[in-house]
Chains A and B, each alone.
Chain A
Amino acid sequence: MRYVADVAALARKDILLELRSRDTVPAMVLFVVSALVVFHFALPADTSATAETGLLWIALLFTALLGLVRAFVAEREQRVLDGLVLAPCDRSAIWLGKAIGVLAFLVLAEVVALPAFALFFGPFSWELVAAVALADVGLAAVGTLLAAMAAASRARELLLPLLFLPLVIPIVVGGVGASVADGPGRFLAFLGLYDAVFAILSWASFEYVVTE
């Protein structure tokens, strides 16, 4: 129960920070909608639904990246991470609290992005929604760990995309597969497996990322 209370306190703090600063979610929403508008005008009229869905996944991936770049800004600027690391709570609670915040911001951006996609490219399937939901968990889990790693580096803006994009290729494979294939079940299961494996790995390794 202590662990849950720590995670809740840390996640609540991130959401409160975003409500106060309004830095991240508006930027993510604006970016994803802008990207969809650009794709809408860039693609020829006879573009297949498969290509359009693929571009949606690219937009979502870079929207997540935009949110992750800012994930540890408050901790980095004031060295607050040192204060959190010294607390007697399990350090993985810091990761989980932050990942819940990242997940919430991503979901908020997608609440706008998916209707915008429907507006520009036509209706989307429930399989796409399920795939996006599963992908969000993996993006938040892996992304939060990598954002913490990058935050400790001077080349953080460069490092995060270089680490993040190769690691989330399976999410794109699973997400696009679940959205366009005839049998989406195995792709959704693949996304679920990715979430489980990478969430456990991130949870277990966070301590080594924030300590020497």
Chain B
Amino acid sequence: MIHPLIRARALGRDFGAKRVLRGLDFAVQPGGFLLVTGRNGSGKSTLLSLCAGLLAPTAGELEVAVERGEVGYLAHEPLVYRELTALENLDLYGRLYRVPERRERIGMLLERFGLWDARHERIEAYSRGMAQRLALCRALLHEPRLLLLDEPYSALDNEASGLVDALLSELAGERTVVVTSHDPERVRRFASEELALA
């Protein structure tokens, strides 16, 4: 029997008096692709933060069977320094994540997401869409076993959204992926499981 990569039992999370998640049970197998849907404030981002280990559950259990450096996390913010360039930000993360052949990997990702020509520009000069593409590069840099993508299409134009489609198609079945989206129809074709938050 294959052990799930993520297993939640009666998972709950409160912020003070506000209960965001309650009694959540689900499991994601290795190589599984979980689509998380729900209205604003239903706890999608909180669930991803819990899976990343950035938050601790206040009720129930959550087991994530990967090491800390094996998680790729795309948050609402790009998690990069605005005063540094794309190259400098990715180089810093590449060093901290011990990425082998770091420069080649960074170059390949920047090319793929159309940021190579802007690699020496500071992030403060980037548009929201460019910052989101850089955030995807950062999340993928260390080839994580588990990818947690919070609204990956956010702020992206059609061309960049097509790049994310291609990425998700490539990752489906290869890596374990958890994606939240306000556009579930777009992601559903890649997903093996779906979790709707109330």
Contact = CB atoms under 8 A, between A and B. Distances in A.
- Size category of the B interface is 20 to 34
Contacts of A21: 83
A6 B96 contact: yes
Contacts of B69: 86-88
B24 to A, nearest CB: 18
Given A2-B98, A20-B122, A212 B84 contact: no
Contact of B81 (A9, A13, A211): A13
Given A82-B54, A88-B67, A17 B95 contact: no
B82 interface: yes
A74 interface: yes
Contact of A17 (B68, B84, B96, B97): B84
Interface string A41-70: 000000000000000000000000000000
Contact of A89 (B67, B75, B83, B96): B96
The interface residues of chain B, by DSSP majority, are classed as loop
- Size category of the A interface is 20 to 34
B75 A5 contact: no
Contacts, number: 75
Contact of B97 (A16, A85, A88): A88
Contact of A78 (B52, B55, B67, B79): B79
Contacts of B54: 82, 85-86, 211-212
A85 B69 CA distance: 10
B77 interface: yes
A83 B93 contact: yes
B98 A88 contact: yes
Given A20-B83, A212-B56, A82 B73 contact: yes
Contacts of B73: 82-83, 86
Given A74-B83, A83-B79, A86-B71, 4 more contacts: A17-B81, A79-B79, A85-B54, A88-B69
Interface of A: 2, 5-6, 9-10, 13, 16-17, 20-21, 74, 77-80, 82-89, 211-212
Interface of B: 52-56, 67-69, 71, 73, 75, 77-84, 88, 92-93, 95-98, 122, 138
